[in-house]
Amino acid sequence: MAEPLLKRVANGDGNAIKEVMDQFGGLVWSLARRSCYNPTDAEDATQEIFLDIWKSASRYDESKGSETLFVAMIARRRLIDRIRRQGREPRMDDIDAPGFELASNTQDEGETFAEAALAAKAVATLKPAQQRVLELGLLQGLSHSEIADMTGMPLGTVKTQMRRGLIRVRELMQVADLADVGEDR
Amino acid sequence: MAAQLPEDHRLFELMAIRAVEGLPPTEEAEFAGHAAAHPDIDSEAFERTAAALALVGVAVEPMPDGVRNRVEGAARVWLAQQAGTADETAGLPAPGNVVPMPARSPRSTVWGGWLAAAAALVVAVVGWLQVEQLTDDRAALAARQAALEVSVTRLEQDLDLRQQVLAELVEPTPEELLARLEGRPETLALPWSTTDDPAAADAGGRVIWNPAEQTGVMRFSGLQPNDPTAWQYQLWIFDAERDERFPVDGGVFDVAPEGETLIPIRAKLPVGEAVLFAITVEQAGGVVVSSRERIALVAQPGA
């Protein structure tokens, strides 16, 4: 079995670094563009994300998810960090963007987004209010306070719904993973 | 069957906040403390779940070449720094070079062994932390350097653009203006006609006027030099679209004692159709409405 790309990066393989850009460049750039107000900011963010990916590559654990998921996690972390540093509001022009259900129907097929499809299915099983909290927080990038302002829910309720929603989605994704393994056998 | 998460509500709450909006430094430290106390909990679990959900519906567009080049540049810097760090570690003394300690009593050897091991562990951890910190600092500096280089390039481009704009704003010399206007099909070139005024007795030259640009140049030869403190010449442009009594003021000017004089025309109002250019002699500073007592030169299209 081939060594994971990120492990090769961690070992200082220069070719692997290039391959990471080939494989995840579009994804990182697209996530940055979705989060940043202008292309210049997105360029800075993209470079920052890749630096963090290379630095964090040694911590990649393939038992916990795909490399795509790891890259997306690092990207989100850096983008959230940039929003905090800049003290700015998240982009609000996507506030009427489709929710998880609709968005999952419009996304590309393929291994790249296998975990996203699982997550979208899991979200669909949540209560509507919980779905809404997750959509606002994770698709639209609103903070808990902003979600509370927008929905009229108490802040504590928003936090609880978010936490329970994430736990539930994670559990359902694990179940689906196990089911897939069972089917493969 | 789904794996059950161990109970630590505060850690879960911090994990959720961290996954959605990030944590301020104080809560980040609190999170690190909780995470260290519960190594059995996957403290990045919610971040991964959030990342999976963030991937829903992402329309992947290719990374632009310019961005790719920039990231590749940062990659080269980072790899070079990694190699440098490795060199530094390679410079540490090899185990074979360590001078053996003298033998001690069995009791002290046992304790000494533990102490030496503990000390070695502390040194290793501190060393590892320092190398990690150094690597982080270098990577951060590399990122900042790359960002600064991009900023400098942008500033240079802005400066070039600004200089171009400034160059356009700077008033051209009469010679430059003349060169620009001459030869254009819409430019008028009218010879001056003298009058009986003594100032123009030996005068010649012509007026160049471009109606599209609303600018022009007057060329004089042999026009009497003036004393700017006592009197000055003033140009008037008669416009077919305006009352003949109120020609457009074309500006006050002086004539130097020697050689040919080139004077740019600065019309104070837009000129529709210039039908006559007239040079009058006026008091120093010019006038708003000329008495037309002394008209030195005139130039007229079709004359």
Q: Beta partners for B233?
A: B253, B281
B/e letters for A16-27, b = 16+ CB within 10 Å, e = fewer, are bbeebbebbbbb
Q: Per the structure, how many domains does chain A have?
A: 2
Question: What are the residue ranges of helices labelled H in chain B?
Answer: 9-21, 25-37, 45-54, 65-90, 106-169, 174-181
- At residue A181 the predicted structure's pLDDT band, cuts being 50, 70 and 90, is very low
Asked whether residue A46 carries a pLDDT value surpassing 50, the answer given is yes
Number of neighbouring beta carbons within 10 Å of residue A47: 24
State CA B164 to chain mean position distance.
Answer: 13
Q: pLDDT tens digit string along B227-250?
A: 999 999 999 999 998 888 889 999
CB pairs under 8 A between A and B: 197
Nearest CA in chain A to B42: A64
Asked whether residue B103 carries a pLDDT value surpassing 60, the answer given is no
- From A88, A120, A144, give the residue that closes a domain: A88
Residues of B in contact with A83 (CB under 8 A): 22
A interface mutation test: which of B4, B53, B70, B133 has the most A CBs within 10 A?
Answer: B53
DSSP class of residue B42 equals: -
Residue B247, C-beta contacts closer than 8 angstroms, at least 6 positions apart: B236, B237, B238, B239, B276, B278, B290
Tell me which residue in A28, A34, A119 faces B52 most closely, judged by beta carbons: A119
> What pLDDT score does B1 carry?
39
Give the CATH number for residue A51. 1.10.1740.10
> What pLDDT score does B89 carry?
38
Phi, psi of B262 (to 5 degrees): -115, 125
Element (DSSP H or E) covering residue B207: strand B204-210
Query: How large is the average pLDDT for residues B150-167?
Result: 72
A interface mutation test: which of B49, B60, B152 has the most A CBs within 10 A?
Answer: B49
- C-alpha atoms less than 13 angstroms from C-alpha of B228 in its C-beta half-sphere: 6
> What pLDDT score does B54 carry?
84
Q: Is A3 exposed, middle or buried (0-12, 13-18, 19+ CB in 10 A)?
A: exposed
SS3 readout for B121-149 = HHHHHHHHHHHHHHHHHHHHHHHHHHHHH
Number of residues in chain A: 185
Q: pLDDT tens digit string along B10-40?
A: 888 889 889 988 888 888 888 998 898 888 8
Asked if residue B238 lies in contact with residue B290, where contact means CB atoms within 8 angstroms, the answer is no
**Contact at CB, A100 and B75, closer than 8 angstroms:** no
- From A52, A67, A88, give the residue that closes a domain: A88
The Cα–Cα gap between B254 and B264 comes to 11
Asked if residue B285 lies in contact with residue B252, where contact means CB atoms within 8 angstroms, the answer is yes
Which amino acid appears at position B195 of this protein?
A: T
- At residue B133 the predicted structure's pLDDT band, cuts being 50, 70 and 90, is low
- A73 or B123, which is more confident: A73
Same domain, A107 and A181: yes
Q: Which of A44-53, A110-119, B33-42 has the lowest mean pLDDT?
A: A110-119
Asked whether residue A68 carries a pLDDT value surpassing 90, the answer given is yes
- From A42, A58, A88, give the residue that closes a domain: A88
Question: How far is the CA of B16 from the CAs of A65, A164, B207, B301, in angstroms?
Answer: 18, 9, 80, 83
**Contact at CB, A55 and B3, closer than 8 angstroms:** no
Same domain, A82 and A138: no
Same domain, A35 and A72: yes
Domain membership of residue A34 as a residue range? 1-88
Asked whether residue B108 carries a pLDDT value surpassing 50, the answer given is no
B/e letters for A152-167, b = 16+ CB within 10 Å, e = fewer, are ebeeebbbbbbbbbbb
> What pLDDT score does B37 carry?
87
Query: How large is the average pLDDT for residues B203-229?
Result: 93
DSSP class of residue B216 equals: E
The Cα–Cα gap between B139 and B151 comes to 18
What are the structure tokens assigned to A165, written together? Answer: 């929603």
Same domain, A77 and A117: no
Query: How large is the average pLDDT for residues B42-57?
Result: 88
For chain B, which residues make up each domain, given as ranges?
9-54, 111-170, 176-299
Same domain, A26 and A43: yes
Q: Mean pLDDT across chain B, nearest whole number?
A: 79
> What pLDDT score does B208 carry?
95
Same domain, A41 and A65: yes
Same domain, A176 and A121: yes
> What pLDDT score does B90 carry?
39
Query: How large is the average pLDDT for residues A64-81?
Result: 92
Asked whether residue B42 carries a pLDDT value surpassing 50, the answer given is yes
The Cα–Cα gap between A117 and A104 comes to 6
Asked whether residue B98 carries a pLDDT value surpassing 50, the answer given is no
Give the CATH number for residue A168. 1.10.10.10
Asked if residue A146 lies in contact with residue B97, where contact means CB atoms within 8 angstroms, the answer is no
Query: How large is the average pLDDT for residues B90-99?
Result: 34
- Concatenated DSSP letters of B224-276: PP--TTTEEEEEEEEETTS-TTSPEEEEEE---SSS-EEEEE--SS--SSEEE
**Contact at CB, A75 and B13, closer than 8 angstroms:** no
